Amino acid sequence: MTQHAVVIAGGGPTGLMLAGELALAGVDVAVVERRPGKELVGQRAGGLHARTIEALDQRGIADRFLSQGEVAPAVGYGWVRLDIGDFPSRHNYTLGLFQNHIERTLADWVEELRVPVLRGRDVTGFVQDDAGVDVQVSDGESLRAAYLVGCDGGRSLVRKEAGIEFSGVEAATSCLIAEVEIDGEADWGLRRDELGISGLSRMEDSGTVRAMVQERQVGHTDEPTLQDLSEAMVAVYGTDYQIHSPTSISRFTDAARQAAAYRRGRVLVAGDAAHVHSPVGGQGLNTGVQDAMNLGWKLAQVVDGTSPAGLLDTYHAERHPVGARVLKTTLAQTVLLGGGERVDALRETLSELLGMDEPRKRIAGMMSGLDIHYDLGDGHPLLGRRMPDLDVEIAAGPLRVYALLHDARPVLLNLGAPGGLDIAPWADRVRLVDAAYAGTWELPVIGEVVAPAAVVIRPDGHVAWVGDGTDAGLADALTTWFGPPAAT
């Protein structure tokens, strides 16, 4: 039986990000992926939000994505455009880039990190015991791992087999997305009717058409067919434009469900396996990638014995509320996408409200992910929030803070007197960097905050401790997040 410290079921964006995070931490990880190759057929996510781009920047790979897409200084909220160009982030924009490009780029990164990806194989079941998990794979092989993570999408086998409840709100709308051929012209662009938004567009460099068409009926359980698409188009456009030669047809709904627990013993779930909802607002892939970044370093520390298994419970405690908020905001947005005079009136009223500065910042902070705040207790506003990517000075010269996170290790950034903090018992795990910064500290949505004397930055870029010029609480924070002190 082949052994790995961690097996990941599913090599979509979440599984790939998690694999990269674990590999950076030196963990022996393998991915089992159903699809035979790196390519994703069909269209799904269309871009990355600011916080996800920051997260990729923390690993030094944001440029790989930025170079392929187009940026716009705004987010959408149920058809309302909200400017984020004034947000204090190096990436105060949204990147337009289709999921197939995002996945290929992540897969290339994971390949560079030498993670084995067992393609063309399914995880078909598992049995966990006190010491690990036996994972059955469709080629007949069994893998033994200390932990199994289900990143296997909305219909997650791992979640189901772990007996994790997945409840929520039933679908009220159903939509087909497809890539098909249309000979001649069609009614290009977006249109709205009482069921929501439909749209037809030509793909960049081919005659293929991307179609997104609302269906009259909800509750289909079969795989969608060309006939289903044709019927839906006739209902919306009065014609199916004689569509033919589909390369992909899939269906999504606005059902919103979330896993009741993100961990059951040695089995965890992340990404769509933990939460599904309508694509409106473009939150799914982004939330999955950020789940992975929250879980990766924690799982690595538990696997190598640095931290007790209880650290993994902070993954649920921090990410479940984020997922629940995403479900709530997408449900609200699906209403705003509908048609009819009542919804039009609501949308106009909301647009007016979101034109005001504070509501705009509040909602845009949420949609961009820049406002995410893990509840790490009371204290300085930075505590639990993302560390800004400041330009600091260290002994060797100027440095961007995110460059310190490229290797996914924790950092104590001392902005007070050099040598003023001693973390010798954690020196094997936490890097102490003396730096100077004279500028202001500004957080998205919140605004300017008091400059801290020091911060502990977790590998996911969130602040775990804020210093006031003393080391009060520092040893406790380091123990909580990075394990007990080593004997010195």
Ligand X SMILES: Cc1cc2nc3c(=O)[nH]c(=O)nc-3n(C[C@H](O)[C@H](O)[C@H](O)COP(=O)(O)OP(=O)(O)OC[C@H]3O[C@@H](n4cnc5c(N)ncnc54)[C@H](O)[C@@H]3O)c2cc1C
Where along the sequence are the contacts to ligand X (CB under 6 A)?
9-15, 32-35, 44-47, 99, 122-123, 151-153, 157, 177, 252, 271-272, 279, 282-286, 288
CA nearest neighbour of 455 among 378, 377, 401, 403: 401
How far, in Å, CA of 461 to CA of 467, rounded?
16
Q: What is the nearest approach in angstroms of ligand X to the Cβ of residue 465?
A: 31
By beta-carbon proximity to ligand X, the closer residue of 290 and 301 is: 290
By beta-carbon proximity to ligand X, the closer residue of 288 and 467 is: 288
Measured between alpha carbons, how far is residue 362 from residues 353, 451, 475 in Å?
Answer: 11, 22, 34
61 in Cβ contact with 109 (< 8 Å)? yes
Q: What is the nearest approach in angstroms of ligand X to the Cβ of residue 195?
A: 16
336 in Cβ contact with 79 (< 8 Å)? yes
By beta-carbon proximity to ligand X, the closer residue of 196 and 452 is: 196
By beta-carbon proximity to ligand X, the closer residue of 48 and 186 is: 48
How far, in Å, CA of 260 to CA of 262, rounded?
7
62 in Cβ contact with 397 (< 8 Å)? no
By beta-carbon proximity to ligand X, the closer residue of 32 and 412 is: 32
By beta-carbon proximity to ligand X, the closer residue of 280 and 405 is: 280
Q: What is the nearest approach in angstroms of ligand X to the Cβ of residue 314?
A: 20
Q: What is the nearest approach in angstroms of ligand X to the Cβ of residue 438?
A: 37
H/E element holding 74? strand 74-77
**SS3 letters for 365-429?**
HHHHCCCCECCCCCCCCCECEECCCCEEEECCEEEEHHHHHCCCCCEEEECCCCCCCCCHHHCCC
Give the pair of three-digit tokens for residue 133: 């998990």
Q: What is the nearest approach in angstroms of ligand X to the Cβ of residue 143?
A: 12
